[in-house]
Amino acid sequence: MSNIKFKLQNIILKSNKYLEDHLGMMYRGDKFEYNKIQSAFTLKAGDFVEFFTYFNSFSIGKWRKYTNAGDIELNLVCKGKFKITMFGHYHDGAEILKEFYPSREYNLKEKTEISLFVPRNIRATTVGFQIDVYDTGSEDGEDFSFYSGYWSTIVDDSKINDIRISIVTVTFKKEDYITSNIKILERELFYTDEPAKDHIRVRIIDNDGGKVLDSESMISEYVHYSPNANVGGSGGYTRGMIESINDTEYNPTHVLLMDDDVIVLPESFIRTYSLLALVKKEYDERFVSGAMLFYERMDTQHEDVGYVHDDGSYGPNKHDMYLEQWDHVLENDEDFKYHKNSYAGWWYCCIPVKKIDRSHLPIPLFIRGDDVEFSLANNAEFLSLNGICIWHKGFANKFNANLELYMVHRNSLIIQAMSGICKGIDFMERIDGFFWKELKRLSYNNCELLLDAIEEFCNGPEFLYEPQGEAIMKAHAKKNELMKPVASEYPNIPVDFDSIYRMADKPLTKFQSGIYHKTRNGHRLPDFMLKDRIAVTAYDWFDDPAKQYLAKEILVVSPFDHTAYLRKRDKKRYKELVKRRNRVLNYYKKNKDKIEKSYQEAAKTLKTEAFWKKYLKME
């Protein structure tokens, strides 16, 4: 046993082309120039930069609490005349305080690695550093050159865990993303001198069966490929789990589930490995939950750990984090008391193999809800860390009624019945509330999808035994409203795209509100009392009764791609839907216990490795 220097995370200044407009996630102050000949980032005399940022600050509070890390060092490979000062932030009640640590001055004539220890007795939960550049008299004006840097610790080598991560990414007709991400991993991780490279492998599960993806160009000692039927994310990820836990040669300790249509940063995998390599035994069953950042707003974090709300909705534990803001960097990094019913999304979720029970694998839901059920059924607890993340393209501003109204609600009912999770949450009340809201918005197709969710749940779990998720999805997708270009299809209807998500200037009066709700927005009124106008509002979750009050038609608009769909009032269909709703809910109430028991019995088969191997034709 001996003490060694162990790298925890890199200082990154050049991560990917997408962050050129978000340098504040890496550093603030004067802008670095890049010298290709030196392979160095340079500053001139008088420049100032600081690194209390999302990617380059250090989460000292978390590293000290959850890991065996000892003294922390900042290591920089650089040249020039400069002063470096480390500092940290912490909360004292509601106030954020800052503390500085002793500065060091350097005059380095040659490329040199310097190391500075973070003081032991500090209050800061997150630390960073800043650099002031002095004049060296350099003819080229490059008074400071930065080559590389990293945070490290001194640790007894007996306290380093033997970690092997199997990354499982499931793809379907998204070969451009997969190909790009594999190339990035090869260039910036697998074929570098990073210690983590020997502890990470990738499994591509191709749900397109190898029809498009050029697997031969990607398979290597680091990358494994498996063609698969289109069994959705549930089936693809479960196949990846089964392959990983049965890989006796690599023998992974963790399975990292990751979306295919994401932009990755290899540094996230490096930090995940470092965290797990040093995690204390009392925390080694926690899921590492990577954050999902918006591709459309790359400095904005939408979620790192989500939860099921008491009303049956799903969402992040934290508010949106704007990661170029130093106070959000601190807030995002602090220990967070997660709500009950919290879960890790499978866009980046690293699961210890010891938490993968061969008799309690995921449910074959095709998509949506599998990650929620797996976290809750396994009583998962979580670790998150600044810099462990992906960017999800197209996640923002995306609404699909088939997925959000049918699939999510059907699966919510299934996972609750099958696994006994989310106790006390009334998903049926939520679905019924949406039904009446959508009726008032003249959204009859959406009402159909909501009732389909209940009805198909009530039919029992038999449909889950065979891989028919794709066919079910396609059938219900036909009920999505067909959005068409506003300019060509609705040229005579005035549409202000900028005001789509603004509430009406005048809200409904108390009397009007009563009429709106009691008559289901005019469905129970004679036609002469309706307003002969076309209301304009948003196509998705947005709901403003004042905008659509008693309108005969409603144009629902997507301001993101300037498309729309014209909803027309149909009292006959309204009556049919209400009648169907009453029938479906009455059946559910009378047979609730029997239905739930059927799912509980089915779970004894559907979650097993034997079932999944047959389902996936792995035998």
Selected residue with higher pLDDT from 176 and 257: 257
Contacts of 296 (CB under 8 A, 6+ apart): 393, 396, 397
Q: How confident is the model at residue 619 (pLDDT cuts 50, 70, 90)?
A: confident
Query: 């350097």: which residue's tokens?
Result: 106
In this prediction, residues 328-350 reach a mean pLDDT of: 96
385 lies in the same domain as 411: no
User: Do both 367 and 429 map to the same domain?
Assistant: no
Residues 401-430, mean pLDDT to the nearest whole number: 97
Residue 103 inside a domain? The answer is yes
How confident is the model at residue 141, as a pLDDT?
A: 76
Give the whole-angstrom CA distance, residue 538 versus residue 548. Answer: 11
Enumerate the β-bridge partners of residue 206: 171, 227
What is the per-residue pLDDT for 67?
98
Res 395: pLDDT: 60
Is there a single domain that holds both residue 188 and residue 303?
yes
Domain containing 519 equals: 401-572
The answer to whether residue 455 scores a pLDDT higher than 60 is yes
- Domain boundary among the residues 116, 133, 159 is at 159
- pTM assigned to the model: 0.96
User: For 550, phi and psi rounded to 5 degrees?
Assistant: 55, 15
In-domain check, residue 613: no
Same domain? 475 vs 437: yes
Asked if residue 322 has pLDDT above 60, the reply is: yes
- The CATH number covering residue 326 comes to 3.90.550.60
Q: For 539-597, how does the pLDDT look when each residue is reduced to its tens digit (9 = 90+)? A: 999 999 999 999 999 999 999 999 999 999 999 999 999 999 999 999 999 999 999 99
Please check whether residue 599 lies inside any domain of the structure. Answer: no
Q: Is the pLDDT of residue 1 over 90?
A: no
- Spell 253-271 as b/e; 16+ CB within 10 A means b: bbbbbbbbbbbbbbbbbbb
Given 109, 137, 159, the domain boundary residue is 159
- Total domains present in the chain: 3
Q: Quote the pLDDT of residue 214.
A: 79
| 152 and 127 housed in the same domain | yes
What confidence category does residue 472 fall into, taking pLDDT thresholds of 50, 70 and 90? very high
Task: Give the C-alpha separation, 9 to 150, whole Å.
Answer: 6
Does residue 32 form part of some domain? yes
Mean pLDDT for the stretch of residues 154-181: 95
CA distances from 386 to 60, 185, 332, 333, 475 (A): 11, 20, 7, 6, 41
Structure confidence at residue 17 (pLDDT): 79
Percentage with pLDDT > 90 across the chain: 93
Are 196 and 149 contained in the same domain? no
Q: Note the pLDDT tens digit of each residue in 91-108.
A: 999 999 999 999 999 999
Residue-averaged pLDDT of the chain: 96
Q: Reply yes or no on whether the pLDDT at 450 is more than 90.
A: yes
Choose one of 126, 159, 192: the last residue of a domain: 159
Judge if 339 and 239 occupy the same domain. Answer: yes
In this structure, are 312 and 356 located in the same domain?
Answer: yes
Residue range 268-286: mean pLDDT, rounded: 98
Q: Counting beta carbons within 10 angstroms of the beta carbon of residue 241, is it exposed (0 to 12), middle (13 to 18) or buried (19 or more)?
A: buried
Contact call for residues 401 and 408 (beta carbons, < 8 A):
no
C-beta separation of 409 from 450 below 8 A: yes
Residue 593 lies in a domain: no
Q: What is the pLDDT of residues 174-225, one digit of tens each?
A: 888 999 999 999 999 999 999 999 999 999 999 999 888 877 888 999 999 9
15 pLDDT above the threshold of 70? no
Residues 365 and 232: their CA atoms lie apart, in Å, by 8
What are the Cα distances from residue 574, in Å, to 336, 440, 606?
Answer: 46, 10, 38
Q: Is the pLDDT of residue 393 over 80?
A: no
Q: Is residue 616 part of a domain?
A: no
Q: What is the pLDDT of residues 23-33, one digit of tens each?
A: 999 999 999 99
User: What CA–CA distance (Å, rounded) separates 18 from 103?
Assistant: 34
DSSP string, 406-454: IIHHHHHHHHHHHH--STT--HHHHHHHHHHHHHHTT-HHHHHHHHHHH
